[in-house]
């Protein structure tokens, strides 16, 4: 088990994007890819063999190494970087930084792999996840953030399809029958605060491997405060309206959340 903390990522660090595709235990960097189906994926590239171009001068036959222009250094993901991006209203870049932070915090295996397994969410500390969520809420007037998504998810009885529609991750199709489809990344998502920007629209969580990753983030202990009080109020409302306890069974914690056993089959 790996326990990462943002404190270890607050020091200035830089990585080069001009690297080979070899995977090993050496320092590595995150590179984003978008496939034809508009799903987001990530790959990790080794940072030990930077590509180098050479030039030669008339007075020497020895090639002179030249750093390629593409090898611009990019800052490591930190809370400070995320805060600055959000304060500047750069929500798209902040979304990518948030995703990179989750990978860093989930442990060494996630960093080598380049993405987080749902079973690794438990390795992210309450303090770190709350700090990330707090920055999103602070710089969006409470419109974005994981805790906002958690509240909306609970309101639709943890139905992910209804949740995706509510936060605007799915769009309604122009058809006679009411139908929805997933938005194409990144152009069809909303990267600014407007009057019609759906609440909870950001940050995004890749559901390419299913909804268990998002489910574990929303069910993280970092967002449990206040849930008991809300559940109690809803229980009183249900009793007053004559609903039976069986009507609330859909709100119980899913079995995979209770067991929380690693399952890498997806």
Same domain, yes or no, for 242 and 166?
no
How does pLDDT run across 120-141, given as a tens digit for each residue?
A: 999 999 999 999 999 999 999 9
Q: What is the dihedral of CA 249, 255, 257, 260, to 10 degrees?
A: 160
Categorize the per-residue pLDDT at 87 as very low, low, confident or very high, splitting at 50, 70 and 90: very high
Higher per-residue confidence, 248 vs 74: 74
pLDDT of residue 63: 52
Q: Is 185 left (phi over 0), alpha (psi -120 to 50) or beta?
A: beta
Assign 120 to helix, strand or coil: helix
pLDDT of residue 83: 98
Mean of pLDDT values over 113-124: 96
Judge whether residue 201 has pLDDT over 80. yes
Judge whether residue 230 has pLDDT over 60. no
Same domain, yes or no, for 12 and 93?
yes
pLDDT of residue 209: 75
How does pLDDT run across 161-196, given as a tens digit for each residue?
A: 999 999 999 999 999 999 999 999 999 999 999 999
Number of domains in the chain: 2
How does pLDDT run across 38-66, given as a tens digit for each residue?
A: 433 333 333 444 444 444 444 545 555 54
Same domain, yes or no, for 205 and 234?
no
> Is 56 inside a domain boundary?
no
pLDDT of residue 226: 55
pTM: 0.61
Categorize the per-residue pLDDT at 206 as very low, low, confident or very high, splitting at 50, 70 and 90: confident
Question: Tokens at residue 141, please?
Answer: 């007037």
Residues counted in the chain? 266
Same domain, yes or no, for 37 and 129?
yes
Higher per-residue confidence, 208 vs 24: 208
pLDDT of residue 170: 95
What range does the domain containing 203 cover? 6-48+72-224
Lowest mean pLDDT among 66-75, 225-234, 253-262: 253-262
Same domain, yes or no, for 118 and 202?
yes
pLDDT of residue 248: 42
> Is 266 inside a domain boundary?
no
Same domain, yes or no, for 242 and 111?
no
> Is 63 inside a domain boundary?
no
Please enumerate in sequence order all residues whose Cβ is within 8 A of that of 55, keeping only pairs 6 or more positions apart, or say none. 63, 64, 66
Judge whether residue 112 has pLDDT over 90. yes
Same domain, yes or no, for 129 and 235?
no
Question: Residue 178: how many CB atoms within 10 A of its CB?
Answer: 7
Same domain, yes or no, for 108 and 160?
yes
Same domain, yes or no, for 134 and 241?
no
> Is 10 inside a domain boundary?
yes
Of 83, 216, 196, the C-alpha closest to 137 is: 83
């Amino acid at each position: 088990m790996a326990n990462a903390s943002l404190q270890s990522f607050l020091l200035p660090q830089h990585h080069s994007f001009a690297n080979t595709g070899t995977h090993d235990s050496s320092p590595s960097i995150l590179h984003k890819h978008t496939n034809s189906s508009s799903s987001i994926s990530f790959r990790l590239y080794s940072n030990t063999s930077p590509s180098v171009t050479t030039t030669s001068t008339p007075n020497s036959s020895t090639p002179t190494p030249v750093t390629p222009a593409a090898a611009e250094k990019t800052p490591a993901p930190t809370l400070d970087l995320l805060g600055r991006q959000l304060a500047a209203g750069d929500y798209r870049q902040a979304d990518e930084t948030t995703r990179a932070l989750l990978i860093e915090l989930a442990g060494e295996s996630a960093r080598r792999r380049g993405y987080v397994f749902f079973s690794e969410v438990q390795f992210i500390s309450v303090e770190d996840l709350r700090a990330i969520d707090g920055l999103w809420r602070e710089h969006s007037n409470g419109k974005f953030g994981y805790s906002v998504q958690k509240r909306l998810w609970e309101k639709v009885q943890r139905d992910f399809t209804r949740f995706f529609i509510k936060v605007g991750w799915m769009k309604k199709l122009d058809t006679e029958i009411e139908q929805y489809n997933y938005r194409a990344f990144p152009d069809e998502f909303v990267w600014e605060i407007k009057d019609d920007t759906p609440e909870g629209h950001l940050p995004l969580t890749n559901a390419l491997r299913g909804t268990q990753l998002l489910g574990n983030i929303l069910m993280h202990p970092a967002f449990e405060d206040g849930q008991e009080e809300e559940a109690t109020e809803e229980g009183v409302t249900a009793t007053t309206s004559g609903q039976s306890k069986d009507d609330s069974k859909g709100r119980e914690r899913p079995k995979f959340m209770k067991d929380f056993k690693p399952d890498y089959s997806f």
